[in-house]
């Protein structure tokens, strides 16, 4: 097949793609496969395609050296050859978020039969628990937005874009697995693919069933509570403080909110360091406003998103994070007496609201050098948010945030939330330098998106779990300071989203497979 790049088609003429390709190649198209599709909104709204096509006399076409036409490369993912060390005990994977789930899937697909332990519930039960929390503010600290099958990404926008270079096509393999298990086929080629929390739940259920069919197994409501170590090697784990599971390989994909587990690991002298992360607020605008700013006119296109960044005069950077077109602001708390927010969208992204976190980078200089100091800093902020909102999401109009006064009534923008809210003065959450950075950043962003700083834009607090405040140290073989432990994903400090977490899970599976063999 031939690959044709930079094929530009106006958005209202998508059905002319085949004709355009036939004109470029001067050949009849026998078969067509879209590799990439992106939207160029700089001038005329145009789709830009990268396409693989099957035509007659491919060698003859290549001899003509037509611009942006080449032979289709081999982009097949190849799992490594298995190692030579026989594995005696079952591989245990802690956490069934993106990293853990895909690590389990690749291992099971290649003959290993991993055991996945998850402190929260199966998706089906977890959804009921979370909906009860949204409705009645009754929190289950073990199964919630952060904990449970699928991880925190289960209740998110399901964005799959990443800046990671993928020379070995791990990301391609991940997307193929997602599609095989029910994700929309267009994620294979869209520039900004997303699944949405509603479809993602079904995909996770299908992946679980497939892993079980390949010999894997799951234990839910099962929390890692201790390590059993001999001569600096893992020989087993304790779960729920009572049961012992013998294992020589533990994949530690616990997520960025497993604070009690981090403390247990630190007590067991697992080497970890503190790392920078970001904190801030979530802002909501009308989706129609964002669409007009990005598309310049009303068009039948998916809800628009944005990505913004700014270096403020405070010497701190502020940037948009986890932007959710047509979404909800959600109460994403996982600890009693503490409150954190996040964003979520369904596949159709069909609410009238666009929301995004606006977060400010902080470092260990702000909160301390001990590996657990970042966690304490997050907890302190989340306690304040809980108190300000009187146990509900604290919310404030932008004009009142700037004026340092509590809001008393809404403007034209209505809050689209999962979980109730109360008016509060969010300026009380942060020190002056962070508040000044947020205000300056929002005003600057209005030069990029008209009315971004409109008076009645809504702010919600607190966004504090953008990434893990901890990095668990691992070597070139992905093993931690205690041998047999393989830390990975967002919680271990090696990913920053669903796709990077899944790819990290694939990498861990590869490292385990390169060392061990199950049939010797």
CA distance 379 to 273: 18
Helix or strand (DSSP H, E) at 280: strand 277-286
Averaged pLDDT, 283-303:
94
Per-residue pLDDT at 300: 87
Per-residue pLDDT at 520: 52
CA distance 137 to 129: 10
Per-residue pLDDT at 407: 97
pLDDT bracket for residue 267 (50, 70, 90): very high
**Does residue 155 or residue 329 have the better pLDDT?**
329
Is the predicted pLDDT of residue 162 greater than 80, yes or no? no
Kindly report the number of other CB atoms within 10 A of residue 232's CB atom: 10
351: its two tokens: 């609410």
194, HSE (Cβ side, Cα atoms, 13 Å)? 28
Is the predicted pLDDT of residue 214 greater than 90, yes or no? yes
Average pLDDT value over all residues in the chain: 95
Span 111-158, pLDDT tens digits: 999 999 999 999 999 999 999 999 999 999 999 999 999 999 899 888
Per-residue pLDDT at 452: 98
> The domain 85-273+470-517: what is its CATH number?
3.50.50.60
Per-residue pLDDT at 373: 97
Quick check: 420 and 329 in contact, CB under 8 A?
no
Is the predicted pLDDT of residue 519 greater than 70, yes or no? no
CA distance 111 to 517: 9
> The domain 2-71: what is its CATH number?
3.30.70.2700
CA distance 18 to 54: 12
Which part of the chain is CATH 3.30.70.2700?
Answer: 2-71
Helix or strand (DSSP H, E) at 299: none
Per-residue pLDDT at 102: 98
Per-residue pLDDT at 163: 67
CA distance 116 to 235: 17
Per-residue pLDDT at 496: 87
Quick check: 221 and 142 in contact, CB under 8 A?
yes
The secondary structure of residue 323, as a DSSP letter, is E
Which part of the chain is CATH 3.50.50.60?
Answer: 85-273+470-517
Span 465-505, pLDDT tens digits: 999 999 999 999 999 999 999 999 999 999 988 999 999 99
């Amino acid at each position: 097949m031939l690959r044709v790049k930079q094929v530009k088609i106006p958005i209202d003429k998508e059905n002319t793609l085949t004709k355009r390709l036939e004109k470029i190649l001067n050949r009849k198209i026998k078969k067509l496969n879209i590799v990439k599709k992106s939207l160029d909104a700089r001038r005329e709204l145009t789709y830009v395609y990268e396409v693989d096509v099957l035509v007659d006399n491919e060698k003859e076409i290549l001899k003509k050296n037509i611009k942006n036409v080449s032979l289709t490369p081999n982009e097949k993912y190849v799992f490594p050859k298995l190692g030579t060390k026989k594995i005696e005990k079952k591989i245990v994977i802690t956490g069934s978020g993106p990293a853990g789930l895909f690590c389990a899937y690749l291992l099971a697909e290649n003959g290993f039969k991993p055991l996945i332990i998850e402190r929260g519930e199966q998706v089906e039960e977890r959804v009921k628990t979370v909906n009860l929390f949204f409705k009645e503010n009754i929190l289950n600290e073990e199964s919630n937005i952060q904990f449970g099958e699928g991880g925190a990404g289960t209740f998110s926008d399901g964005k799959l874009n990443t800046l990671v270079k993928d020379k070995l096509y791990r990301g391609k393999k991940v997307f193929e697995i997602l599609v095989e298990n029910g994700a929309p086929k267009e994620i294979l080629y869209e520039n900004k693919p997303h699944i949405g929390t509603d479809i993602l739940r079904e995909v996770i259920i299908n992946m679980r069933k497939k892993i079980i069919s390949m010999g894997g197994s799951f234990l839910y409501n099962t929390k890692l509570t201790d390590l059993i170590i001999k001569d600096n090697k893992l020989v087993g784990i304790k779960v729920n403080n009572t049961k012992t599971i013998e294992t020589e390989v533990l994949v530690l994909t616990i997520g960025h909110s497993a604070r009690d587990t981090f403390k247990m690991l630190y007590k067991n002298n697992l080497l970890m360091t503190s790392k920078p992360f970001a904190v801030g607020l979530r802002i909501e605008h009308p989706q129609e406003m964002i669409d007009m700013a990005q598309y310049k006119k009303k068009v039948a296109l998916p809800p628009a998103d944005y990505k913004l960044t700014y270096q403020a005069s405070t010497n701190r950077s502020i940037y948009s994070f986890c932007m959710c077109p047509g979404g909800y602001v959600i109460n994403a708390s996982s600890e009693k007496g503490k409150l954190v927010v996040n964003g979520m969208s369904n596949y159709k992204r069909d609410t009238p609201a666009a929301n995004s976190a606006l977060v400010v980078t902080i470092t260990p200089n702000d909160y301390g050098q001990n590996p657990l100091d970042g966690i304490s800093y997050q907890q302190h902020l989340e306690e304040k948010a809980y108190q300000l909102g009187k146990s509900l999401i604290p919310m404030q109009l932008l004009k009142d945030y700037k004026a340092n006064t509590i809001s008393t009534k809404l403007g034209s923008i209505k809050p689209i939330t999962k979980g109730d809210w109360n008016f509060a003065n969010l300026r009380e959450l942060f020190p002056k330098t962070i508040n000044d950075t947020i205000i300056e950043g929002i005003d600057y962003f209005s030069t990029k998106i008209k009315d971004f700083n409109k008076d009645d834009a809504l702010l919600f607090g607190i966004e504090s779990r953008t990434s893990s405040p901890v990095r668990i140290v691992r070597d070139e073989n992905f093993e931690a300071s205690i041998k047999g432990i393989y830390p990975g994903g967002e919680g271990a400090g090696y990913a920053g989203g669903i796709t990077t977490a899944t790819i990290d899970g694939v990498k861990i599976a590869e490292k385990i497979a390169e060392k061990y063999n199950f049939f010797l």
